[in-house]
Structure 1
Amino acid sequence: MKCGGSTLAALPASFFEDMRHLQEEGIVTVIVHGGGPAISDTLGKLGIESGFVNGLRVTNEAVLDVVEMVLSGQINKEIVRRIQLTGAKALGLSGVDGHLIEARAVANSHEVGLVGDVTKVNAELIQGIVGMGYIPVIAPVGLGADGGQRYNINADTAAGAVASHLGVEQMVVVTDVPGIMKVVDGEKQVLPVVSVAQIEEMITSGDIYGGMIPKVRAAIACIQGQVQEVVIVNGSKPNVLSKVLKGEGIGTRIVR
């Protein structure tokens, strides 16, 4: 599950209760989270400038220090606390810990700086944490192959890579929108199911734009191996995770 940074503050306590119920039923959630608004807020307070290119934050070493501090510290531990308040067990870590996420510079690093694409995920470490009865909560900061360079990784991209390497059937993107929207007969409507080909068409037409582009790109990259679909949902909806797993037709399903 990918949990958007702009969504976290608005998630009701019932969302984490739902997660605990699923764990009791033997369904364990692995969470990869963002933290964009909190990062932007902290950068602003420190007087550090940072812009965006196609939804990716332009990252130098100074920005990366803040990204790691906010994601691995503030946001990660907030999620862990909220899960543990329900009585469930959670363990927070970043892609740096145990060399969990290995990355290399993105193709357009000349534009965005120290932003990474995932090349490897230590799935055994995640499975070990799950095996001990903990819900893993992962901050998307990665390391280069030699362990020396850190990379800021888009949370959607990191979640897609983790899902692929774990071989799960479904990835859920929890955000603050009800799904992929399209204007039909003058009204915005949620598309219940879209294919990879339809997404490409919607990006070209401008129906999908801004921060939604990396979300759907990560979804497309994730749908490989055993991963059959990605579901984009609004996290504020009651029992949204349980409803997704029951196939109740909530949000937008992205399929092959």
Structure 2
Amino acid sequence: MNDIVLIKCGGSTLEQLSNDFFESIADLVKLGKKPIIVHGGGPAIGQILNSLNIESVFVDGLRKTTAEVMEVVEMVLAGKVNTTIVGKLQKTGVKTIGLAGVDGQLLKAKPINFEQLGYVGEIEKVNGDFVLELMAIGFVPVIAPIGVDDEDQRYNINADTAAGAVAKAIGAEQLLFVTDVPGILKEGQIIEQITPKEIELLIEDGTIYGGMIPKVKAAIDSLTGDLQEVIIVNGKDTKIVNDGQIIGTKIVKENVPTF
């Protein structure tokens, strides 16, 4: 396995990320790992849109993005959210650089369905070399999921989609899916390793329920390309690295019983 660890931070967990979480990323760097962060920011976008009395419409779980909404999306993701994460990481002594998909044409995009969704984009190409060059000189990139086309039009990209595309482009084999829970629990204990098929069984028998279901399904959906494992970790109130090991539930591709 290579040393690249892609860390996906969902918008709903960003405000809950603890100082210990950021210290854990510094620990990964000390262990010789090469972390990279892709983040969302949906709740923060929603708050600003509400304060400006701009209506939000969702189609199949995606926020319809008019030109007016796109201005807010870019302001929040590339501005407030991205710079906050960068600032907290830099406090730990980690060399950090904030990026949006428009920087270095990092995320080339096109509209998914302009009539239905407006400026919601799908990724056509990731400038993986640009990211790898930054990581090679010691930076931890923090990426806001905003795409761009050849005409410099910006697009709102789903953060899960962006994380998967970036992971594939840079050859990451490990993805940390940051949530507000310590992992998948069975009878009060963290399941250390599990397969997607076993997760489906736990959903069926009610062990995994409620808000945990979309979390694990999003993690499974990320398990594509070169990624060999996705680890659900807790970014809320504890370190995610202990004695050099990442703490959480590891979801692996291998269809081998693990519990």
TM-score with structure 1 setting the length: 0.82
CA 1:247–1:17 in 2, change beyond 3 Å: closer, same or farther?
closer
Partner of 1:30, secondary structure, is strand
Deviation per residue, 1:214-250 (Å, 9 max, x gap) = 97357435521x211222222125221x2597365x2
CA 1:82–1:247 in 2, change beyond 3 Å: closer, same or farther?
closer
Distance across 2 between alignment mates of 1:220 and 1:200: 17
Report deviation, 1:63. Answer: 0.7
| Alignment partner of 1:142 is 2:143 | no
Distance across 1 between alignment mates of 2:243 and 2:108: 30
* Structure 2 stretches lacking a partner, 5+ long: 1-6, 255-259
Partner of 1:103: 109
Q: Is the 8 A contact 1:190 1:252 kept in 2?
A: no
Report deviation, 1:80. Answer: 0.6
Aligned with residue 60 of structure 1, among 53, 66, 77: 66
Q: Is the 8 A contact 1:116 1:152 kept in 2?
A: yes
> What pairs with 1:17-166 in structure 2 (closer than 5 Å)?
17-106=23-112, 108-144=113-149, 146-166=150-170
CA 1:16–1:217 in 2, change beyond 3 Å: closer, same or farther?
closer
Report deviation, 1:85. Answer: 0.8
RMSD of Structure 2 on Structure 1 (CA): 3.1
Aligned with residue 8 of structure 1, among 14, 27, 33: 14
Percent same amino acid at aligned positions?
A: 44
Q: Is the 8 A contact 2:31 2:244 kept in 1?
A: no
Give 4+ residue runs of structure 1 displaced > 6 Å after superposition.
Answer: 187-191, 200-203, 207-212
CA 1:217–1:7 in 2, change beyond 3 Å: closer, same or farther?
closer
* Structure 1 stretches lacking a partner, 5+ long: none
CA 1:127–1:244 in 2, change beyond 3 Å: closer, same or farther?
farther
Report deviation, 1:17. Answer: 1.1
Q: Is the 8 A contact 1:229 1:253 kept in 2?
A: yes
TM-score with structure 2 setting the length: 0.81
Q: Is the 8 A contact 1:54 1:211 kept in 2?
A: no
| Alignment partner of 1:229 is 2:232 | no
